[in-house]
Amino acid sequence: MQESAARGPTPPADTLLMIPGTMCDQRLWQPMLQTQAGQQLQQLFTIKDAAIWQQLDFAGMMETIVAPNAAHLLGFSMGGYLALSHLLTRYSTDVQQTSAPPIKSLVLLAATAGALADGEVQQRQQILQWLQTQRYRGMSQKRLAEFIHPDQLDNPLVTEPVLAMDKALGHDVLWMQLSQTSARQSLLMQLQQVSCPVLIVGGRDDKLVATATLEQMAALMPNTELVLLPDCGHMLPLEQPVLLANALLAFYQRIGAATIKAGRNIG
């Protein structure tokens, strides 16, 4: 007790804001947070979810990222694009004059800074047209196979959360997210502005985000690490929760973010 008093009160933990992707909610992170490294992350940070799935438009989704004033941003897929958009806005001259705390790190999971490819935009437009007359009732097995590594398609620990989130969020969330994010602008030319430490994590077998795209992004940002997870498709937090949690913990330790919370030393 005397030693604790001599050191003074423990400073509050930084906030780590987790931003999911299209048709995902907080369930995306649970397998990763339940690993040993994931439990350490929960000791190191105050972890919050950006509830983008509850919003009505792009502005609402961005507000879920702005409002928490988080020191560390972690975004998956579309959530990564939103996190990067917010960070680049913070780098603007006008916003730097605000009293908002600095963003200390950015993690991008299976996320691209570029505009959507023409083929994906066309596919989204076809889905939106279909949604105007039909009620969405969930992801097909063919569509599921585009997101997940072939070896994981028979693993219920991976497939069931994906299908459960998709079914629970449903027609209206799918319509909002596709209609509000399909015309996204490329941020590639602005990446050199990013000065905080960045971790990019991708799946080696991701059919949606090519390794070459992640390598290009990593080369454009001056303080960036790139990690590629083996035997992994697009759904990194569900397909490789242990490897992802280990990579995150190692990254935060290297940048000095993962050191002390509540008086505990993390080695």
Q: For each of the chain's 267 residues, which pLDDT tens digit applies?
A: 444 445 555 666 899 999 999 999 999 999 999 999 999 999 999 999 999 999 999 999 999 999 999 999 999 999 999 999 999 998 774 555 556 778 999 999 999 999 988 888 898 999 999 999 999 989 999 999 999 999 999 999 999 999 999 999 999 999 999 999 998 999 999 999 999 999 999 999 999 999 999 999 999 999 999 999 999 999 999 999 999 999 999 999 999 986 544 333 333
Token pair recorded at residue 157: 């620990």
| Predicted local confidence at residue 97, as pLDDT | 52
Contact between 73 and 50 under an 8 Å Cβ cutoff? The reply is no
Q: What pLDDT does 249 receive?
A: 97
Homologous superfamily in CATH for domain 2-265:
Alpha/Beta hydrolase fold, catalytic domain (3.40.50.1820)
| DSSP class per residue in the chain | -HHHHHH-PPPPPPEEEEE--TT--GGGGHHHHTSHHHHHHHHHSEEEE--GGG-SSHHHHHHHHHTT--SEEEEETHHHHHHHHHHHHHTSTTGGGS-PPPP-EEEEES--SSPPPHHHHHHHHHHHHHHTTS------HHHHHHHS-GGGTT-HHHHHHHHHHHHHHHHHHHHHHHHHHTTPPP-GGGGGG--S-EEEEEETT-SSS-HHHHHHHHHHSTTEEEEEESS--S-HHHHSHHHHHHHHHHHHHHTT-SSEETTEE--
What per-residue confidence (pLDDT) applies to 3?
Answer: 46
Q: How far apart are CA 197 and CA 162, in angstroms?
A: 30
Q: What pLDDT is recorded for position 13? A: 84
Residue 98 has a pLDDT of 58
Task: Kindly list the domain boundaries of the chain, sorted by start residue.
Answer: 2-265
